[in-house]
Each structure stands twice: as C-alpha cells, then as structure tokens.
Homo-oligomer: A and B are copies of this chain.
C-alpha cells in the first residue's frame, strides 16, 4: 500500500479535528468550565500535551476563526470610490455569502458558546482587537496611506462594532434570522445614525 506521501500530515490533521470535535461536544454537553483539558484529551485518545500542541490554549479550541485574512483581502479589492464603511460592509456580506453555506452550523455553535462563557467572551473580544487593527490597515492600504489615520481607526472600530452586533443578534435568535440581512440593517443604522 504505497500511501500518499502525507500520511503523517493526514494523521496529524485527523488528531486535531478529533480533539476539536470532542472538545465542542463535551463543552455543549457539560459546559465549558466544567470540562477539563484532561477529559478532552482522554476522550480523543491523546495526552493533554498533544492537546496543547494543537491548540495553544483551551479557549482557542472554540474561538479560532480564520476569516480575517479573507476579509482584509476583500476590503482591499473594493473600488476606491467606495467610502470606508461601505467597503467594509460589502466585503463583509461578500465574505459571509462565501462562508455561510458550509460553516453556518459550526459558526452558530461556536458563537453561542462564546456568548455564554466569560472566558471565551474575553478571548474573543481580544481577537476583535486584532481584527480592528486588520480592518484599519486594510482601509489604510486601500486609501494608499502609509499609516492608519485616526479617522480610519474610528470607522474601522465602528464598522466592526456594527458587524459584531449583527452576529450577536443572529446568534441570540438561534440563527433563525437572515444574518446578511442583519448585517445590512446594522450598516444602514450606522449610515443613518446622525440624522
């Protein structure tokens, strides 16, 4: 059986996936805090060291998402004539359209856990900090500036706040609502706020 030349990588990826699945399952069943890393590792048939080699922290099993680079890329390719908030808005809806069909359920489960668990909320909030910087940088690059201006930082922060509010509301409603519609609504509010 001449295995594909990546049997090792495959095994590693399988282990990682297994750990993550068991973790989410146990979190949902018994709660995040009541589930120990040791239990997750045992359930997945590995040692706790393997857990930490795949996930730097217990929290990271839940709130790692890899959407940031895509979002940044989408922003950079928006036409220069668009104002910054609209650029983020359209980049977000485009990205969501690409993500939702496959990731909807996973996104919802993770969002729910994050909303319910203080430790995860905190970590997620710090992730948002990184996303904020990323958004500001993307806007900066799109505008051809060297360094982000205060204005772009405020707009990036406000846009991300609108986006997050939409996702939060969607999650609280059990994922029944149309997420893209909520995002559109949030940005409409942002645009019309001052009037």
Contacts and interface: CB of A to CB of B under 8 A. Distances in A.
Interface stretch (A47-55, A105-113, A183-191): A183-191
A43 interface: no
- Determine the main DSSP class of A at the interface with B: helix
A165 interface: yes
A128 B150 CA distance: 20
A122 interface: yes
A25 B169 CA distance: 41
A193 B189 CA distance: 12
B193 A158 contact: yes
Residue from the set A126, A151, A158 with the largest chain B CB neighbour count within 10 Å: A158
Contact of A191 (B118, B160, B164, B194): B194
A164 B83 CA distance: 22
Interface of A: 83-85, 118, 121-123, 125-126, 128-129, 150-151, 153-155, 157-158, 160-162, 164-166, 169, 182, 185-186, 189-195
A165 B154 contact: yes
A150 B169 contact: yes
Given A122-B122, A122-B126, A129-B125, A194 B154 contact: no
Nearest to A124: B125
Contact of A157 (B155, B162, B195): B162
